[in-house]
């Protein structure tokens, strides 16, 4: 079955370290997204991609970067982790069919703690 | 950007009760999704409902796009319905990026 996976599921790191969170989908979806979820804020969009070599900033992109070298993967990098980036991170994907149908499907999430 | 407001923020029910959750949005949209986040944190797709009414078992949803709201109905609630319910709509002039409401925390007691 097609799915979307994230790794690691849990990560503890130290302030200032570079961290990369992986996201892999097997639906062959063009669109991929990264969100963070924090108490009181719901889910907020960090970065997104509409296809290979395409990346765009979302609502809360400072301190994060992404790259899209193939359809299946959109890794999220924290260049220099800060305590404010302690959060739960969700990856999502959707089709880009040219029509209106673009339901997003979410991965299981990565819980990141920055000490 | 588009604003999404959900109500109520918290809801406590006894098992077997019915409930209605509401999602208001500030601008015209051409799609809307409802999600359930279970106590383990997993986001589960409930409905993709740009307009009209859909039903899936004990859950149903109605979106009235012209009036900028959507309703999620839960009938005969069960303890497994507990969790946070989110609605999300497209934002930033795109069909693909989603803006989420802050959710409704539902607790169903046995």
Quick check: B100 and A44 CB within 8 A? yes
Check whether A65 has a pLDDT greater than 80: yes
Quick check: A102 and B41 CB within 8 A? no
Tokens in use for B39? Answer: 């106590």
Neighbouring residues of B77: CB distance < 8 A, sequence distance ≥ 6: B13, B14, B15, B16, B17, B18, B19, B58, B106, B108
Quick check: A101 and B48 CB within 8 A? yes
Q: How far B46 CA lies from chain A's nearest CA (Å)?
A: 11
Rounded to an integer, what distance in angstroms lies between the CA atom of residue B30 and that of residue B6?
18
Quick check: A88 and B41 CB within 8 A? yes
Residue B49 — very low, low, confident or very high, per pLDDT cuts 50/70/90? very high
Residue B7 — very low, low, confident or very high, per pLDDT cuts 50/70/90? very high
Quick check: A103 and B102 CB within 8 A? no
Establish if B93 touches chain A: CB-CB under 8 angstroms: no
Query: Per residue in A20-41, pLDDT tens?
Result: 999 999 988 999 999 999 987 7
User: How far, in Å, are A16, A34, A74, B10, B99 from residue B95 at the CA level?
Assistant: 36, 16, 20, 29, 11
> In this predicted model, which residue has the larger pLDDT, B29 or A10?
A10
Tokens in use for B56? Answer: 């899936």
Establish if A48 touches chain B: CB-CB under 8 angstroms: yes
Q: What residues in B contact A94, CB-CB < 8 Å?
A: 96
Query: Per residue in B52-103, pLDDT tens?
Result: 999 999 999 999 999 999 999 999 999 999 999 999 998 766 667 889 999 9
Do B97 and A48 form a contact (C-beta atoms < 8 A)?
yes
Check whether A109 has a pLDDT greater than 90: yes
**Residue in chain A lying closest to B33 (CA):** A103
What is the DSSP annotation of chain B?
---EEEE-SEEEEETT--EEEEEEESS--S--EEEEE-TT--EEEEEE-SSEEEEETTEEEEEEGGGTEEEEEE-S--GGG-EEEEEEEE-TT-SS-EEE---EEEEEE-
Q: What residues in A contact B42, CB-CB < 8 Å?
A: 106, 108-109
pLDDT of residue A19: 98
Quick check: B97 and A45 CB within 8 A? yes
Establish if A58 touches chain B: CB-CB under 8 angstroms: yes
Mean pLDDT of chain B, nearest integer: 93
Establish if A101 touches chain B: CB-CB under 8 angstroms: yes
Query: Per residue in A92-101, pLDDT tens?
Result: 999 865 555 6
Query: How many contacts does A have with B, using Cβ atoms within 8 A?
Result: 57
pLDDT of residue B101: 94
Tokens in use for B90? Answer: 């497209």
């Amino acid at each position: 079955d097609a799915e979307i996976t994230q790794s690691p599921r849990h990560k503890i790191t130290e302030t200032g370290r570079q961290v990369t969170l992986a996201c892999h989908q097997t639906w062959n979806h063009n669109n991929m997204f990264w969100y963070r979820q924090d108490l009181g804020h719901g889910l907020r969009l960090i970065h997104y991609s509409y296809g290979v070599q395409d990346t765009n900033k979302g609502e809360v992109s400072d301190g994060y970067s992404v790259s899209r070298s193939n359809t299946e993967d959109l890794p999220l990098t924290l260049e220099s982790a800060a305590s404010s980036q302690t959060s739960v991170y969700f990856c999502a994907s959707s089709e880009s069919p040219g029509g209106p149908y673009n339901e997003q499907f979410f991965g299981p999430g990565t819980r990141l703690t920055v000490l | 950007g588009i604003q999404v407001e959900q109500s109520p923020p918290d809801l406590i029910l006894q098992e077997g009760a019915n409930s209605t959750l509401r999602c208001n949005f500030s601008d015209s949209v051409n799609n809307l999704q409802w999600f359930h986040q279970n106590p383990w944190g997993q986001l589960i797709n409930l409905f993709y409902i740009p307009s009209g009414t859909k039903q899936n078992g004990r859950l149903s949803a109605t979106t009235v796009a012209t009036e900028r709201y959507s309703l999620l109905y839960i009938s005969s609630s069960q303890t497994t319905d507990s969790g946070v319910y989110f609605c999300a709509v497209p934002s930033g002039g795109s069909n693909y990026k989603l803006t989420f409401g802050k959710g409704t925390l539902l607790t169903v007691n046995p």
